[in-house]
A and B are shown apart, each in its own frame.
Chain A
Amino acid sequence: MSDGHNAPTRLAADGPDIDLKEEGTSDISRDALLLLIACIIGLISNWVGHGITPLDALAGMAILYATSVGGLALARYVGLGLPSVAWVSLIAILLTIPGVPGSAYVVGAVGKLDFLSLATPALAYGGLALTSKEFAIARSSGWKIVLVAICVMLGTYLGSAVIAQLVLSITG
């Protein structure tokens, strides 16, 4: 699933019809509306999972909404080869660095929202978005590819963990 990336290449032309999303070509007003829906569902998710009412978490969600729209706009108009999720992250970091005006308020407001509850809606959409072609590819690839894929994930994770552990043990 294309969670959070704007892949730069159109793939459908010469391959299986996997729909890689291209945020760069979609219009921001449409995305802003869809984001509003996602944020409302995020408030419901946080409410059910952690008992914090949507009203209580509203200020925090408004900040996350503005940050997301800002990230979309920066990716569209500034770009610099960074996907919109990278811009969203950078804005969010800047807003919360101690000493930046209002950072304490931002940290307090978004503190009402659980990070994992905000990912739940995206995964629900993800399960519903899978196409019969994606299921077909997974089935026809066979068990060998499944084992290779698990080793790819294991290797990517462990490789980073080993290097991080070594460097941390040197630098402390």
Chain B
Amino acid sequence: MHRTLPFQHLVLHALVVVIVMIAEAIGILKIPIGFGAVILLPILYAFAMGIAINPAIFKATGKLLKAPGTKLAGTMITIAIMPFIAKFGTTVGPKIAEVAAAGPALILQELGNLGTIFIAFPLAVFVFGMGREAIGASYSIDREPNLAVIADKYGLNSPEGAGAMGVYATGTLIGTFVFALLPPLIHSLGLFDVRALAMSCGVGSGSMLAACTGGLVGVVPDQKEAILALAAASNILTYATGLYAAVFLALPLTEWLYKTSRPGTASGDLVKGAAK
């Protein structure tokens, strides 16, 4: 089926090799700040370098990397994350007793993903005065499966769809950075067991998972095995339950909150297609 690899594909892989080598050569940097530490990871440099030479940003690299190359890059994300996910899974087996012991916490913390509704929704509706965009924006972390739910129910051209797309695009651009920086800082507050912070890393995105666990291991290196095992277990639970939690819990709850806080507002069907 693949007689030869198209030249554009070779260009893409070659660029990635160069980026990866630079990022890994720099390595993990730990910058102490007052009460905690900022952990900078090779995945952050790699992502930033990818953006820096992305043809959509810099026309100059468009001569080197054309549409077939960037299209393959999209496919390669889902492929290249797999050895990482596999490696992550192998950390669970040796720690299976510890993971099982944390079972109740692991299962119940999945409900904590609804926490976005209690922080982001009030900000969107009461502080920023957003309309139904707030529903799509704040009901979940808006990665691909959640986006599919919104697309299915409202369409992506609806206000709900616009809100979800905005958070999706923002999360894509800065999610890795947020999840690398945040957990080490929260850990330094001293309020949380590192096991609790580890099992919260499974939010349903491979890059956020990598950033979150990488950051935590950076500040608590002697707990590396337990952090990886718990994060991996929670991530699998999110893969299995996240879509159902979004459809049957998060979205109905957000809809209800919106109707309660904005009585008399048109339903999604009436305003569907009103957005430009």
Contact = CB atoms under 8 A, between A and B. Distances in A.
B119 A119 contact: no
Given A64-B83, A152-B141, A156-B113, A128 B93 contact: no
Q: A82, A127, A144 — which one has the most chain B CB atoms within 10 A of its CB?
A: A127
B117 interface: yes
B250 to A, nearest CB: 10
Contacts, number: 472
Nearest to B128: A144
A137 B20 CA distance: 27
Contact of A116 (B43, B93, B143): B43
B120 A123 contact: no
Contacts of A63: 86
Contacts of B239: 82-83, 85-86, 89
B178 A117 contact: no
Interface in A1-36: 1-9, 11, 14-16, 18-21, 23, 26-27, 29-31, 33-35
B56 interface: yes
Given A3-B81, A15-B155, A124-B23, A82 B240 contact: yes
A101 to B, nearest CB: 13
A23 B141 CA distance: 21
Nearest to A46: B24
B270 to A, nearest CB: 17
B56 A130 contact: yes
A27 B2 CA distance: 12
A149 B170 contact: yes
B196 interface: yes
B161 A5 contact: no
Given A89-B239, A127-B47, A161 B186 contact: yes
B228 A115 contact: yes
Interface stretch (B29-37, B72-80, B255-263): B72-80
Q: B20, B27, B49, B84 — which one has the most chain A CB atoms within 10 A of its CB?
A: B84
Given A122-B84, A134-B172, A163-B109, A128 B123 contact: no
B90 A119 contact: no
A126 B84 contact: no
Interface string B56-88: 110000000100011101111111111111111
Interface residues of A, number: 116
A23 B12 CA distance: 20
Q: A120, A130, A154 — which one has the most chain B CB atoms within 10 A of its CB?
A: A120
Interface string A130-172: 1110110110011011111111111111111111110111010
Contact of B93 (A93, A159, A162): A93
Contacts of B50: 123-130
Given A3-B206, A123-B46, A148-B137, A168 B74 contact: no
A157 B117 contact: no
A42 to B, nearest CB: 5
Interface of B: 1-2, 12-13, 15-17, 19-21, 23-25, 27-28, 41-44, 46-54, 56-57, 65, 69-71, 73-94, 96, 101-102, 104-106, 108-120, 123-124, 128, 130, 134, 137-138, 140-145, 147-148, 151-152, 155-157, 161-163, 165-176, 178-179, 182-183, 186, 191-193, 195-197, 199-201, 203-208, 210, 212-214, 217, 228, 232, 234-236, 239-240
